[in-house]
Each structure stands twice: as structure tokens, then as C-alpha cells.
Structure 1
């Protein structure tokens, strides 16, 4: 278990092997298994996901999405992700829905997502941190190049206005204060509460040039449904 901050509990896992292997202390606070890669063939999966991501994304996501291919290995990995979240995340982090603690998730929806929108072309709502329509969300980073992690915020103003912000939201403002960060690491699964305001860490010259098309930010996403 990796704790990004007191506000943001996040489980960072690098594969789906049983958690009975060697254990390393995380700065004396939380023991965690030493694990390998999350999925075999992640590079090939990234290329296929990027080629298939042609649909505009819903919920004001700044890019495109693609459904997962009909592949037995991917379906099995998705099933194991669901089992891991039920066993490892929900057992440690109390997540509630309709005032009741969630004991397990019924299903998980997965897709691939690309961020490739120029900062100057963002809609006002895309210039602010967001929350997800599910209680728990997961990401697998499929970028060999550095394309940023995930940032978590606390809203400190009663209301926020995206027109007051330029480009992607990556730091403090009068509306939001940065409270945590989970760094990106290739082929790594990250799980976190979707109801905490967060945003992708999109910064650098790549998002302003041709690299946003040639090598965009690509993730596999998991939405867990109770």
C-alpha cells in the first residue's frame, strides 16, 4: 500500500502476482510486495490502443478513447484487477456509496485513452481538476516517454471557474490546492478514489507540438462499479 498523502490513498501495483513474495518497507510506514511488470506485451498493447483510439472521449476528457480489443489475455487481466481491488484496496480504504461501505465491486469497465489536445484548445471544464463518475478508478501507464502522473487536489473555493486558468491544471490556485501526486511509471497499475478532485499531470513541450500525436499520453483505464 502506497499513501500519496493523508487525503489520497492510492494502491500502486506493478503486476498481478500473488502478494506472498518478498516485501519491502515503504519508508517504515507501509510494507508492500516487490513486484514485476503489470502486463506482458505492454508495448504492443500501447501501439494497438493508440491506433484504435479514434472516438471522442466522454465526460470532457481531453482526447480520444477506444474499447479494449477482444483478447482472452486482456479479459483475464481485467478480471484479476477486479479481484485485486476487492481484496487489497477495499479492505484497507473505506469507500462508501449511499452511506454504505462498499464490500466488493460487481464489475469493471475498461478502455484505452489518449490525451492529445493542445492546451490552448481546452474547454473551460477541461482546465480544472475533475472527479470520476465512479467511486474507484484505475490507470495503467503505457508510455515509454514521460507523460506525467496523476495529481490530487482539495477544492478550497466555493466554486471554480475554468476560464481563469490557462492550459492543463498542474498546481495550486485560489480554487484548488495540490495535495498529492502519484508518479507515472510504465506498465504500472494505479488505483485511487475517483471522488477526490484530480487531473493528469500534463506539462512540457510534447503537448504543444507534434509529439502529442506521435507519442501521446496513453493509459488503460478501469472504472469499478459497485
Structure 2
């Protein structure tokens, strides 16, 4: 089997950083456009290596590990920004997990919990990123407020109340239809939305309620050359 050469990556000299505070809770979301010089090579690497597999979590699609070069460029360029915006030093983030990702699960196959916004962890000192290696027609990312509780983030102190509210809705017949959330519903209000754009990176707390903006007519293509290719990263305390 041919060896796929790792891409050469560095921060793009024309990258643009925007820091927003969203919703009533004023949570920070960092949006970096034109993030990497070498993003085309990164996309080509994903296409060439293939090997996307079903995952065991709730991500609605396929994943495969990102290359070592990607980890290196994150280590070289993000610590200062993370400290400035989130107040976190490198010593507080014990591990980094990055994966190429493709949304491939059709709406009729979604588990009920995949039909509503989610949080990635209950720790406000853990961060998540999505780096789009696709274009706008593939759909971006939205952030949400849960109407019943008013929560826009779900940390350890809120987890039980949030899940109990969802369970109560389910028991009363308020189960979301088999579709991806893509805007306001009876249960959730979208408080911010960022379109997919090639080489755009979003960085936010893992506690923020969010979901991909997957519209009707989405192709769910498992080919990384055609589908909703991104790199999803988690910066964790463990």
C-alpha cells in the first residue's frame, strides 16, 4: 500500500482572527478565516489516505485520525490565542484529539439525541474546534439556547437538569422529528451561526450547545472529495 505523504502546514500569513461573544451568557467563539497555508494539501491528504470508519460516539458520520503535522501546527499557533480568549494555559490542556470527519448519517437513521444541539463535555476548561475543509454549501455550525432551561452551555452543575428536561419532553411525546436541527425549534433557539467556508476554523468551549447546519437536500456523501470534510479537534484536561 502506498504511503501517503504528510502535508506541510503553517499558519497562513493572511489569516484573520475574529472573537465573538454570543448569546445571553456571552460565551466566546473564535472564528479564524484562511487559517492554514497548506489547507489544500491537507484536504488532498484526507482524500488520498481514505480509511474513514464508523465511530463509536454520537458523531453522525465517519472519522479517521488527522496527520501529525496538524497537531504540530496547532501547538505552534494557538496557545497564545487560547490563553488570551479562554484564560487557559498549555499546562491545563493535557491532550489533543484531531480527526478528519464526514457527516454521512441520513436523517432517518439519527438517534433522537442527534436531532438536537449537543455539548462535547461538561468541563468549561475543555475546548472544541471545527476546521472546515469544504465549502459553504456543506453547511456550517450553529449555537443554541435551550428554551425550557435557558441554558446555552451545559457544565457539570447543569447536566442533570438539562437531561431531565429533554427526558420529560420525550415522555410527553415531544420527540424531535428525524432531521438535523438547522434553526429555531419549539425546544431550541439558535443564537449564532457560522457558515462553512474552506479553511475556516471555529474554536469554542466544549460546554456550548451546538450542532452542524445540515439543510434539506444534503448529500451525505462518504467521499471526502465531495462530502462535508472537516477536522474536529478536542483540547481536553485529561
If the length of structure 2 is used for normalisation, what is the TM-score?
Answer: 0.70
1:221 partnered with 2:199: no
How far off is 1:12 after superposition? 1.2
Question: Residue 174 of structure 1: which of 160, 168, 186 is its match?
Answer: 186
Distance 1:102 1:224, change over 3 A: same
Q: How many residues align?
A: 192
Query: Could you say what secondary structure the match of 2:56 adopts?
Result: coil
CA contact (8 A) 1:82 1:224 kept: no
Query: Could you say what secondary structure the match of 2:117 adopts?
Result: coil
Q: Match of 2:15?
A: none
Q: Match of 1:151?
A: 142
CA contact (8 A) 1:137 1:194 kept: yes
* Structure 2 counterparts to residues 136-147 of structure 1, below 5 A: 136-144=127-135, 146-147=137-138
Query: Could you say what secondary structure the match of 2:75 adopts?
Result: helix
CA contact (8 A) 1:53 1:114 kept: no
CA contact (8 A) 2:136 2:197 kept: no
Q: How far apart, CA to CA, are the structure 2 residues paired with 1:146 and 1:43? A: 18
CA contact (8 A) 1:90 1:102 kept: no
* Structure 2 counterparts to residues 31-42 of structure 1, below 5 A: 37-42=34-39
Q: Please list every run of 5 or more consecutive structure 2 residues that lacks an aligned counterpart in the other structure.
A: 1-18, 149-164
Q: Match of 1:59?
A: 57
Q: Match of 1:19?
A: none
CA contact (8 A) 2:62 2:102 kept: yes
1:131 partnered with 2:119: yes
Distance 1:104 1:156, change over 3 A: same
Q: Match of 2:86?
A: 90
Query: Could you say what secondary structure the match of 1:203 adopts?
Result: coil
Residue-by-residue CA offset, 1:82-138 (whole Å, 9 max, x unaligned): 4144333213xxx8xxxxx99842332211111012222222221111110253111
Residue-by-residue CA offset, 1:177-224 (whole Å, 9 max, x unaligned): 21221222210111011212110001142336xx56462111111111
Q: Please list every run of 5 or more consecutive structure 1 residues that lacks an aligned counterpart in the other structure.
A: 15-36, 96-100
Q: How far apart, CA to CA, are the structure 2 residues paired with 1:40 and 1:113? A: 20
Q: Match of 2:21?
A: 3
CA contact (8 A) 1:86 1:105 kept: no
Root-mean-square deviation (CA, aligned residues, Å) is 2.7
The more displaced of 51-60 and 126-135 is: 51-60
1:107 partnered with 2:103: no
Q: How far apart, CA to CA, are the structure 1 residues paired with 2:200 and 2:212? A: 15
